[in-house]
Amino acid sequence: MQLPPEHEELEIVDESNRVIGVRERAEIHRQGLWHRSVHIFIFNSRGEIYLQKRSPRKDQYPDHWDSSAAGHLIPGESPEIAAHRELGEELGIDTELIEAYRHPACQETGWEFVTFFVGRTDEAILLNLEEATEGRFFTATQLTDLLGDPDQKVAPGFRLLHRVTAFHLRKAAFKGLELQPSLDGLPPGPAAYPP
């Protein structure tokens, strides 16, 4: 029998992202303990990015637009395995993923050390309605409008990763996926972000 999400056990880590124990998810979130997650941005062949709107039942950022897929690592799981698992669970797809960068834990990420992946697909997406209420591909202009609209709720982790990803895209980190059209409308990355 699967435990409710709040009782799932996750690894907690220290400031260097080394595992130091295991705690229940609800306790981790309540206490703001460092832990690990993956985020995935999925693009289609037109360079549009898929976003999902989180379920109103989520304990963090309900009804907020967020990454294509995201989730915590199961204890002992590698980020790559977790990313493919989350794609299957949340979007009903699997595709080649490239690990683009790792982002340190901070308030915007919910104290998660994020391993960030990017991929591309034109497969039909079967959104898991237990996880999200809606999802769709956004053009660069639509994404800019979404991020600039004060009436739209957008998860702070997605806002942060979007800014960092824009910087990495400009550094040609993803040129193997031919995602140049996705640069349109993305903000310039601040100089503070590492290459």
pLDDT for 166? 79
Which three-class secondary structure string do you get for the chain?
A: CCCCHHHCEEEEECCCCCEEEEEEHHHHHHHCCCEEEEEEEEECCCCCEEEEEECCCCCCCCCCEECCEEEECCCCCCHHHHHHHHHHHHHCCCCCEEEEEEECCCCCCCCEEEEEEEEECCCCCCCCCCCEEEEEEECHHHHHHHHHCCCCCECHHHHHHHHHHHHHHHCCCCHHHCCHHHHCCCCCCCCCCCC
Q: What is the pTM of this model?
A: 0.84
pLDDT along the chain (195 residues), means of 10: 67 96 95 97 92 93 97 97 98 94 94 95 95 94 93 96 79 51 41 30
User: For 129-149, how does the pLDDT look when each residue is reduced to its tens digit (9 = 90+)?
Assistant: 999 999 999 998 999 999 999
User: For 75-100, how does the pLDDT look when each residue is reduced to its tens digit (9 = 90+)?
Assistant: 999 999 999 999 999 999 999 999 98
